[in-house]
Amino acid sequence: MRPSSWSFLRKRRPVQKPEPEPVAAAPPPDVPDDDMLRRVSDTAWRVLVIGVVVVLLLWGILYIRVVALPVILAIFLTALLLPSASWLRGKGLSRGLATTIVMVGALVVFGGLITMIVSPAVSGFNGLVESVTEAIVLLQGYATSIGLDQALVNQFIEQAQSELQADSGRVVSGAWAGAVAAGEILVGLILVLVLTVYFVHSGDRLMQWVRELFPQPTRYAVKFAGDVAYDVMGRYVRGIALVGLFDAVFIGLVLVFVLDPALALPLILLTFIGAFLPVIGAFLSGVLSALVAFVAEDWKVALIVIVATIVVQQLESHLFAPRVYGKALDLPSAVVLLAIAIGSIVGGIAGAFLATPVAAVLAALLRQRPFAAAESVVSQAPPPAIAPDPAPVPARAGATPGAPPAAVAADTGAPKERQDDAGAARPKGNGAARSGPAKNGDE
């Protein structure tokens, strides 16, 4: 049947397009606030709050320094000893036995070092002090020879000596003050030993208990912060000990060959201790070694000591230390110097030695931002899975209505042996569970 001409016109009839739905206007973009005074004030009060918190924290540590410093030292020793204890526990030893082996081994090594190195070095400090005194006199003569005012040089030396004598007089001013200081040192050493044993044995349980004190949403952040702090502190303590050993061994070999061993041993010990003061410790120990070599021998030996110290420290700074520290001491030199200065003001000599690792831990926490990481982990966590309702099993034609799934599955084309197993497991006399239409004999 041919289509009519009207059908052709209907095909060419224009179709009216539906009117588009109105689209909501986009919100205006956020216009940055150009009020500089408001931005500066917001930043200023935040900095002020942080500064007040830091000052209060430092004041609290200074107020309870008899307890705070031993706790920090115990944490450092734990970071040094815990890997060995964990390795022994991984081999099947109990916590108590692994802790006992590690602590006894540490005491044996520490006692051996004191016997072999520290005692001879301490006995040689008298000669070292005499050499330094002679060096001061020689430097006084050289300063005069190059045109410096003799009176000014003498005034500077006398002022330094008077300060030292005043400090020593304050230290030994009374038996009571000395007894109190000795008691604090003894209590601190006992506390360091006891806390180290406890941290090595049950440090993980203690951290678990601390995490449970916080609300559930913040426990991940607390755990993350603890892991970051422990990792940085452990790598710092192990790295600084290896760096000090590196400097002491290689610089000490040169000192033993060019100086009297009685003078070399104290300088080797000071070189090792100086490594625990990054940036300035190596410089001070090197200057002292060169000064003693200049007084004890001549300027040629002093020049050899200076060259050897510079070479060893350059190798340590560029090749050895980066592989040992990693990111544990990723701090600029200016930050290290400021941390040591603040630590010495707050805690004296102990504060100066502890300032750098504390600054490294704080820098790592600011870099990692544990609370922000915890929020991102919580926000990215998938919602809890909800089990879907079981899909209905389609019944074959002729299956008994209301039959249980086992009977229906047996009636949907399963292998014969599975059907036999289903039939064997089915209780007899249950006509509702049989497949197929009921027969007259079964009724």
193 and 99 in contact (C-beta within 8 Å)?
no
Q: What is the pLDDT of residue 282?
A: 81
Give the long-range contacts of residues 107-112, CB within 8 A, separation 24 or more: none
269 band by pLDDT with thresholds 50, 70 and 90: confident
State yes or no: pLDDT of 248 exceeds 70.
Answer: yes
- Residue 76: which of 371, 278, 269, 360 has the closest Cα? 360
pLDDT band at 379 (very low <50, low <70, confident <90, very high): low
If you average pLDDT over residues 241-247, what whole number do you get? 87
Q: What is the DSSP code string of 335-387?
A: HHHHHHHHHHHHHHHHHHHHHHHHHHHHHHHHHH-HHHHHHHHHHHSPPPP-P
- 318/394: higher pLDDT: 318
Q: How much is the pLDDT for 368? A: 77
Residue 57 has pLDDT above 70, yes or no: yes
Given this model, what pLDDT does residue 75 score? 86
Q: How far apart are CA 74 and CA 190, in angstroms?
A: 10
Q: How far apart are CA 324 and CA 316, in angstroms?
A: 10
The pTM (predicted TM-score) of the whole model is: 0.60
- Work out the burial of residue 364: count CB atoms within 10 Å of its CB; fewer than 13 is exposed, 13-18 middle, 19 or more buried: buried
Least reliable range by pLDDT among 97-101, 359-363, 380-384:
380-384
**Triad 382, 387, 389: Cα angle to 5°:** 145
Q: What percent of the chain has pLDDT over 90?
A: 3
Give dist(CA 212, CA 223) in Å, integer. Answer: 10
What confidence score (pLDDT) does residue 350 get?
72
Range with top average pLDDT, 22-31, 43-52, 268-277: 268-277
Instruction: For residue range 311-346, list pLDDT tens digits in order.
Output: 988 888 788 877 777 665 677 778 888 888 887 777
Give the list of residues 6+ apart from residue 304 with CB closer than 8 angstroms, or none. 254, 258, 293
351/341 Cα distance (integer angstroms): 9
**pLDDT over 70 (residue 181):** no
**Predicted confidence (pLDDT) at residue 369 exceeds the cutoff of 50:** yes
The alpha carbons of the chain give a radius of gyration, in whole angstroms, of 39
Mean pLDDT of all residues in the chain?
71
| Residue 154: band (very low, low, confident or very high) from pLDDT cuts 50, 70, 90 | low
Across the range 278-300, mean pLDDT stands at 82
In Å, what is the CA distance from 352 to each residue of 68, 216, 342, 359?
A: 14, 37, 8, 11
Q: Which position has the higher pLDDT, 60 or 134? A: 60
Q: How far is CA 408 from the centre of its chain?
A: 62
Whether the predicted pLDDT of 43 surpasses 70: yes
Q: Is 24 exposed, middle or buried (0-12, 13-18, 19+ CB in 10 A)?
A: exposed
Min mean pLDDT across 150-159, 194-203, 262-271 is at 150-159
What are all long-range contacts of 321-325, with beta carbons under 8 Å and residues at least 24 apart? 321/239, 321/243, 324/235, 324/238, 324/239, 324/242, 324/243, 325/235, 325/236, 325/239, 325/243
CA–CA distance, 34 with 16 (Å, rounded to integer): 51
Taking each helix axis from N to C end, the angle separating 280-296 and 125-145, rounded to the nearest 10 degrees, works out to 80
Per-residue confidence band for 150, with pLDDT thresholds at 50, 70 and 90: low
Mean pLDDT of 283-300: 83
Phi, psi of 426 (to 5 degrees): -80, 130
Q: Which residue has the higher pLDDT, 66 or 97?
A: 97
Choice between 15 and 73, residue whose per-residue pLDDT is larger? 73
Angle at which helices 65-90 and 175-212 pack, to 10 degrees?
A: 50
Instruction: Put residue 434 in one of left, alpha, beta given phi > 0 → left and psi -120 to 50 → alpha.
Output: beta
Give the whole-angstrom CA distance, residue 57 versus residue 60: 5
* pLDDT-above-70 percentage for the chain: 58
Is the per-residue pLDDT at 61 higher than 60? yes
Q: Is the pLDDT score of 410 beyond 70?
A: no
